[in-house]
Structure 1
Amino acid sequence: MLRFTPRMSTPHLPLAGLQARPPWQHEAPVALQPHVLRLTAPNPGLMTGPGTNSYLVGSSASGWLVVDPGPLEPAHIERLWQAAGGDIRLIVCTHS
């Protein structure tokens, strides 16, 4: 048997410490944290929202790890390569 549980409102949660998320855009990497960049591929859709998110983790000193490189879209791949300064050490795919 299914039971309905009303959603609880939480007006008491402090919002002052929360920061706005960087905007979605496809042209350039967006810094999310120190050493973490997000690049969104220009493939918006039902499953991808504004586009597939790819992440670069690392630095110019250590090289870069790419998490979820995204679709085979030449301009997106080039943006990943350029953002990493051509120093991509590892690629990790979390899904296909």
Structure 2
Amino acid sequence: MGADEHHLRGAGITDRASCYTALGEAVNGPGGYYGGNLDALADCLRGGFGAEPPFTLVWHEAAVARRLLTGRVEIAGRGLSYFEALVHTLREGGVTVLLR
């Protein structure tokens, strides 16, 4: 794995909290933090919390999170599922997200 590529293991993601735990560990190692909600994630993407964009996030088993991270979120006048909002926030912050 190159320094510009991080792997998110999505099989254990069952809710928002487990998603942010998995994301933090994927990006910053065991026990790592990379946000706990969409606003905190956006703050992390601006720097000072470990990995700084641009980088690539390879999200393995993304279908698990897509199925479980539901609920609607308004972003830029669009109603998105929480999963879609998370991916949108990452991409807007300069992360290339590859869903596997």
| TM-score after normalising by structure 2 | 0.31
If asked which structure has higher relative contact order (CA below 8 Å, sep 6+), I would say: 2
Q: Which has the higher helix share?
A: 2
* Structure whose CA Rg is larger: 1
| TM-score after normalising by structure 1 | 0.32
